[in-house]
Structure 1
Amino acid sequence: MTTRATSELSADLGPIDPPVRLLMGPGPITAYPRVLQAMSAQLVGQYDPFMTATMNEVQALYREVFVTSNDATLVVDGTARAGIEAALVSLISPGDRVLVPRFGRFGHLLVEIAERCGAQVHAIDVEWGRAFDAESIEAAIKAVRPKLLAIVHGDTSTTIAQPLDELGAICREYDVLFYCDATASIAGNRLLTDEWGIDAVSAGLQKCLGGPSGSAPVTLSPRAAEVIESRKSIEAGIRDPDSVVRENRVQSNYFDLGQILDYWGPNRLNHHTEATTMLYGARECARVLLDEGLDNCMSRHRVHGDAMLAGVQGLGLSAFGDLRYKMTNVVGVHIPEGVHGEAVRADLLTDYGIEIGTSFGPLHGRIWRIGTMGYNARRDAVLTTLTALESVLRRHGVKVPVGGGGDAAIESYASADVPSSTGVSVS
C-alpha cells in the first residue's frame, strides 16, 4: 500500500459535523455551551502547576456539588459506569456480603459489578415504577448483615427516585457502608451526602450536570476512605513487587481508588495520565451549577419536569410509575395502544431533530422516557418537544387535543411557585 501526500479518505470524510439535535431523552443531553467552550481550551502537562491547581479546584467544586466536607472527592476518568465500578471494586473484597435493593435496570448493574468483585450479593426487588420504604431495606439489612448497601438514587429506566434520607442512620446502626449511584439524580434532585450519612457517591456529567459523558465525580466519607486505604495494592506508590499486598488487594488497577486518591493527593503519585479536556468539562459543569445555586437548579428541574408531565398528560397520555417518587428530570410515558413506539421516536428525530428515550427490560416497547435536564431544563425545549410530539402522534393515528400539551405545560408554568427560567448564564 502506497502513501499519498493527501489522504483521499480524509478528504472524502471531511471534518466532524454532527447534526443539530435537541436531546430530550434520559441522557446524554445537550451540553451547556459554557462546558463545550471550556473543553476547547489548550492542554497542559499533567504535572504542570496549572493542572495541579485545576485538579484542586475540581475537588473543591465537587465538595459543594455533593454537599460534603469529604477530603476524598475527585473525578474518575471514564463514564459514569467507571465511577460505579471504581467505588464498588475498591470497597468490596471477595466474600463480602452486599445488599442491593433493585427498582430498575441500574440496580441489576450494581448486582453484576458486585458479583464480579467476588461479593456474596443479596438483592431485594420491588415492582418497576415503585420505590422501597426504609423499613423494607432495614429488614433486609437485619437479615443479610451486609458489609455494604449499594443502591441507585434515581433510576432513569423507571424514572423513579429512591428516598435515601433515612438509610444512612440505618446503615450506621448496623455498621454497614452506604454507597449510592447518583448519576441521573445529582443537581436535579436533592442529594445531601453528609446529612444523609452516605459513605460513597458516584455520578456522571451527562444528565443534570449538563456535560458530556466521560468523567465520573466520586466522593468518599472518611469511613469509606479508610476501607480503601487499607486495601492499597502497592504501598506508598512504590512500584516494588515485594511490597504488594496480595491477600486483599483491589481486583482492578485502573479503578483502584486507593491509587487514584494518591494521584489526586498532595504527592500526585503517578497512576494514569489525566483526561485534561474532560477535567476542564467537569470543572465547568460544577461552575455552571454553583453559579446558579444548588437550590435554584433543583427548582428549575422541578418546574420544567412538572411542565413536561402536565404536557404529556394534556395530550391524553398516561405517565408511568408512582408519581410521588418521580424524578424531577425525566418522565415515563405509556405508549398508546396500537402505536409503534420506535416509529414515533424515529419521526421525532428525522423531522424535528428531537430525541426521546426508549425503554428496557419489562418496560421495553411499553414506555417512552422524556428528559428535562441540564441545559434542556428550560421552557422553550419543553414546549418545542410537546408540540413536535403532538404532531407526530396525530400522524400515527392518535387522537390528541389540539395544543393540549403546550397549553397544559403553560398552565403548569403559570402555577409554579418559582420562575420557569433563571438568570443562570449557560452560554
Structure 2
Amino acid sequence: MSGSVPGQVNPPSRLLMGPGPITADPRVLRAMSAPLVGQFDPWMTATMTEVMGLYREVFKTANEQTFLVDGTSRAGIEAALVSLIEPGDRVLVPVFGRFGHLLVEIAERCGAEVHTVEAPWGEVVEPEVVEHAVRRVRPKVLAVVQGDTSTTMCQPLADLGEICRAHDVLFYCDATASLGGNVFETDLWGLDVATAGLQKCLAGPSGSSPITISDKAAAVINARKHVEAGIRADDDIDHGARIASNYLDLAQVMDYWGPRRLNHHTEATTMLYGARECARLLVEEGMDGAVARHELHGRAMLEGVRGLGLGVFGDVAHKMHNVVAVEIPESLGAEGGDKARAAMLDDFGIEIGTSFGPLHGKVWRIGTMGFNARKDTVLVTLAALEQVLRGCGVPLTAGGGVGAAREVYAS
C-alpha cells in the first residue's frame, strides 16, 4: 500500500489557558529530551528514588509509598480505587461536579456498593452532610475530588479527614487539578491515598500520575497481594480478593518502586524525567510559594473578567485558585460562546475551555495554572477576550479587564 509520508510533527503555537492540559514548562520539555537508560541502571533507580523524595515534598507527606503510576491522571485514580476496593465494599463519594461522577463510575466497576452525597454544581459538600452519611453508610472508603474543574470548586478536606479518622474510614482524594496550586496537606489532613497528574498546576504534559499512600492504606493493599507466576518472590502469598488489574495493581507497583525493585513493568523513562522536573521546580519554588503564585494570578484573572462586566459562576469563596468559570453573555448564547472560543484560538492562538453537563454552553473555563500562572499570560488573555467579545457585539468597558487585573498586581 503506497501513499505520501506525513511530515514531521509541527503543532501550531498555542497558549493553553483552559482547564488543562496547559502549556508545559520548557524546562520540563527539555528534561524529557534527555537520553534513555535501562530501567535497572543504577542511575535510573537512583533517579526513581529522587522522584519519590521530591513528591513527598509536593504532597507534604512522610509516606514511604510515594511514587508515579505510569499513565494519565485517570490511571492513578483507577490504581487507587481498584487496589483499595474489594467487591461488596461500601464507598461514599461526595459529588459536586463531573469528576465526582467519575469516582462513582470507577468504584462501581470495582464492584463496590456506592453511596453519594451531592451538592449543586457551583457549591461544595458541607462536612456535616458527609459525617451524617458516614454514620449512615459506614463506608470502607471515602473518595473525593479536591478541585473539580467542571465547576471550578475546591472541596475543603481538613474536616473530612477528621471524620474519616473518627470512623476508621480510608480517605482517598483525587487532586489532579488542584495539587501545586491550592493548599494540600496529605499528612495534616489525614489522607490515606492521593493521586494527581502533571498537566495542571505541575506544569507538565499528561502521562504520569503521582501518588502517595499511607502506611494504613498500604497494609490494606498488600493484604490483597497475589503471586505473579514465575516473577514474584516465594514469600508473596494470596491473602484476599485478587486486585482486578495487573498493570494498576498497587501491591505490585509498590514492590517495583521499593528497595527490591521487583520487575512489574518497564518504567516510562521519559515521563519519569518530566515528572521529576515538575516536582523539582515546585520544591525549588517552595510549595507555599507555588500556591501563593496561583492565588495571585487566579485572583487577577477573576477580577479581570469581572472588570469586563462578565459574571462568574459558582461560590467564589470555594473557587480553585487556578481556574475560573466565566458566564457566557446571554446575548451570545451557547452557539455564540463556541464561536468566541474559536475566535480566541484562530485570531490569538489562545485556548480557553467550555464545560460539561448542566454548564455546557453556559460558561467558559479559563485556567491560570502551572507555567501559565504568570502576569503576561493573564493580561494577554484578558486583552484578547475583550477584542473577541467586542467583535461579537458584546458591550464592554474598554480596557476594563486588563485594568482590573493590573490593580490586583499593583496591590
Normalising by structure 2, we get a TM-score of 0.97
1:294 to 2:287 alignment: yes
Partners of 2:223 and 2:240 within 8 A in 1: no
* Aligned residue among 130, 142, 145 for 2:135: 142
- 1:28-80 residue CA offsets vs partner (Å, 9 max, x unmatched): 00011110000000000111011100100000000000000000001000000
Q: CA deviation at 1:242?
A: 12
Aligned-partner Cα distance in 2 for 1:241–1:297: 45
CA change 1:242–1:32 in 2 (3 A) is: closer
Residue 377 of structure 2 aligns to a residue whose secondary structure is helix
Q: Which amino acid aligns with 1:142?
A: R
- Does residue 40 of the first structure (1) align with residue 33 of the second (2)? yes
CA distance in 2, matches of 1:365, 1:114: 29
Is the contact between residue 237 and residue 269 of structure 1 (CA under 8 Å) also seen in structure 2?
A: no
Partner of residue 82, structure 1: 75
* Residues 77, 215 of structure 1: 8 Å contact kept: yes
CA–CA separation in structure 2 for the residues paired with 1:315 and 1:395: 14
2:376 corresponds, among 370, 377, 380, to 380
Task: Say whether residues 1:9 and 2:7 are aligned partners.
Answer: no
What is the identity, as a one-letter code, of the residue corresponding to 1:9? Answer: S
- The yes-or-no answer on 1:349 pairing with 2:345 is yes
| Corresponding residue to 1:275 among 268, 280, 301 | 268
Matched residue type, 1:39: M
Q: Mapping of 1:253-272 within 5 angstroms? A: 253-272=246-265
User: 2:169: which partner in 1?
Assistant: 176
How many angstroms does 1:233 deviate by? 2.2
Q: CA deviation at 1:122?
A: 0.2
2:4 counterpart SS class? helix
Q: CA deviation at 1:238?
A: 3.7
- Which of 316, 320, 325 is the matching residue for 1:323? 316
1:143, CA displacement in angstroms? Answer: 0.7
Q: Is contact 2:225-2:239 (8 Å) kept?
A: no
Percent identity over the alignment is 66
Contact 2:58–2:180 (CA under 8 A) maintained in structure 1 = yes
Deviations 1:78-108 (A, max 9, x none): 0000000000000000000000000000000
* Residue 230 (str. 1) matches residue 233 (str. 2): no
Change (3 A) 1:400 1:226: same
Of 132-141 and 62-71, the range deviating more from structure 2: 132-141
Given the alignment of the two structures, is residue 390 of structure 1 paired with residue 386 of structure 2, yes or no? yes
After superposition, the CA RMSD in angstroms is 1.6
State the alpha-carbon separation in 2 of the partners of residues 247 and 42 from structure 1.
Answer: 41
Aligned to 2:49: 56
- 1:403 paired with 2:399, answer yes
Aligned-partner Cα distance in 2 for 1:88–1:167: 18
The answer to whether 1:167 aligns with 2:160 is yes
Aligned twin of 1:249: 242
**8 Å CA contact 2:117, 2:129 repeated in 1:** no
Distance (Å, rounded) in 2 between the aligned partners of 1:103 and 1:288: 31
Unpaired segments ≥5 residues, structure 1: 3-7, 416-427
**1:412 paired residue number:** 408
Three-state SS of the structure 1 residue aligned to 2:157 is coil
Total equivalences in the alignment: 408
Deviation at 1:244, TM superposition (A): 6.7
User: Aligned partners of 1:159, 1:303: CA distance in 2, in Å?
Assistant: 16
Q: TM-score w.r.t. structure 1 length?
A: 0.93
Equivalence for 1:363: 359
What does residue 309 of structure 1 align with?
302
Do the aligned partners of residues 246 and 70 (structure 1) sit closer, same or farther apart at CA in structure 2, a change above 3 Å counting? closer
Structure 1 stretches of 4+ with a deviation exceeding 4 A read: 239-244
Residue ranges of structure 2 left out of the alignment (5+ in a row): none
